[in-house]
Structures are given as structure tokens and as C-alpha cells.
Amino acid sequence: MATNYSPSIPVSNLNLYLDATNPLSAPSAGGAWYDLSGRGRTVDVYGSPSITTLGGVRCYNLDSTGDRFVANFGSDQYTNNLTFEAWIYPALDELTSGDRGCVIQGFAYLSWNKSNQRMSSYWYSTTNQGYHEPSLQMTRGTWNHMVSVWNASTQELYQYINGTLQNTVSTYATNGYYYASLNLGWEGDSRQFSGGFGMIKIYNGALSGDEVSSIYNQFKSRFGR
């Protein structure tokens, strides 16, 4: 799959780029989600997530228990700086009980808290693991942009919702972050995400606040914000 960076996005340390709004990444027939980062990552599909339209946006809809993706990186990935980014459309109703809907999960997490509708971030082997949650509640049945940035230089976690910094936490990796694969949308039935996935990006680096704001502003009209 060819590299695709349109609109312009930061490419330094970009490790995975999945875009369900783009047929090059998510063909109309469904059943595949291709990496646009140029690194050729393999993404396996489990269950029956389908290409559909939610909130006027082409996306993958996770509407059955077990619907998920697994991104495989071929080798262990190590980093002390990390950025998780996702456009999500939380459904009006949850598929399962449990505390969180998994968005990205490996040795670090980006999740949707089912009960309070908040973004949740967690990272093992840090000085302050989590779960860290901004006070801002997100809205069900609409598109929301979430970004978690762990910055080893400042020793802080920054949490952004819809382009705005909502929370800063003192925490940093002590042993480094590693992963060979990541769950997207599911971490056991109790942590099934219910709703739409529009875009997911992972950076083995810490995006700046200006970069997060620029990314949000470039894509917000596509997601009806």
C-alpha cells in the first residue's frame, strides 16, 4: 500500500496510519484496513466490523461483540515518547458492560470510559500509570478527536480532545514502551468499543500541541466538527 499523507500530517515517527474515510485504506467491501504510513503494517480484522456511514462520515462500525482489529508490527517497538490519535463515534448504546471501550491497547491504552464518557489513558511501567481522564465529557452519537501524548522530555502526559489540551499529568516511562501488536476496538468482551472508527494514528514520538491542533483543524470538517 502506497504512502498517503493528504492532507499534510506530521510524518516523523509515524508508525501506523489507518483511515476508514479513505478507500485506499479501507476498501468498500470491508474486511481489510490498510496502513497508509508507508511501513506496510499488517492489520488483521476480527468479527464483522463493516464499512458504513455514521454522522455523515464513512467509517468502520463496530456493532457486534468481538469486532476489532489487531495491528502487527513484525518486531518489538520501543519508545519513551508516544502519541495515540483516534477519531471515534461512540454509539448511543454500549454492546457490553464493563468499564471501558478499548480504542488502542498494548502496553499503553487509549480508551473510552463507558460510564462517564471520558477519554482514558494508561501506560504500564510509568511513574504514574493511570487511568488518567480529563474532566470533559464527550458526546455520544457524534465524532470526537482524542490524542494522548506521552513526552519523556517534559515527563508529562498531555490529553487533547477535539484539538484542545484538556489535561496534563506528571508521568513518564521508566523502562520504555514496547509492543509487537496492538488491539484496536476490543480488549476482552467487557472492554468492547461500540461505534465508529474513522481514523487511527500511532507515533513513536511526542507530538507538540501545535501539531495536534493542526491535525485537528485539517480533518475536523471531514468529521463534521
Q: Is pLDDT above 90 for 112?
A: yes
Report, as an integer, the average pLDDT of 175-203: 94
Q: Is pLDDT above 90 for 206?
A: yes
What is the per-residue pLDDT for 170? Answer: 97
Q: pLDDT per residue over 21-30, tens digit each? A: 999 999 987 6
DSSP per-residue letters across 160-211: EETTEEEEEEE--BSS-EEEEEEEESBSSGGGB--EEEEEEEEESS---HHH
The CA dihedral of 194, 200, 204, 208, to the nearest 10 degrees, is -100
What is the per-residue pLDDT for 143? Answer: 98
Question: Given pLDDT bands bounded at 50, 70 and 90, which one contains residue 1?
Answer: very low
Residues with Cβ within 8 Å of residue 95, at least 6 apart in sequence: 62, 63, 64, 65, 192, 194
The answer for 38, left when phi > 0, alpha when psi is -120 to 50, beta otherwise, is left
CATH class of 14-219: mainly beta
Distance, CA of 36 to CA of 196 (rounded, Å): 19
Report, as an integer, the average pLDDT of 71-85: 93
Domain boundaries, the chain: 14-219
State the chain's mean pLDDT as an integer: 93
Report, as an integer, the average pLDDT of 30-40: 89
What is the per-residue pLDDT for 2? Answer: 43
Report, as an integer, the average pLDDT of 195-224: 96
Q: pLDDT per residue over 150-174, tens digit each? A: 999 999 999 999 999 999 999 988 8
H or E element in which residue 122 lies: strand 119-123
What is the per-residue pLDDT for 225? Answer: 94
DSSP per-residue letters across 62-120: E-STT-EEEEEEEEEEEES-EEEEEEEEE-SS-SS-SSEEEEEESSEEEEEETTT--EE
Q: Return the C-alpha cell found at 194.
A: 461500540
Q: Which residue has the cell 454500549?
A: 94
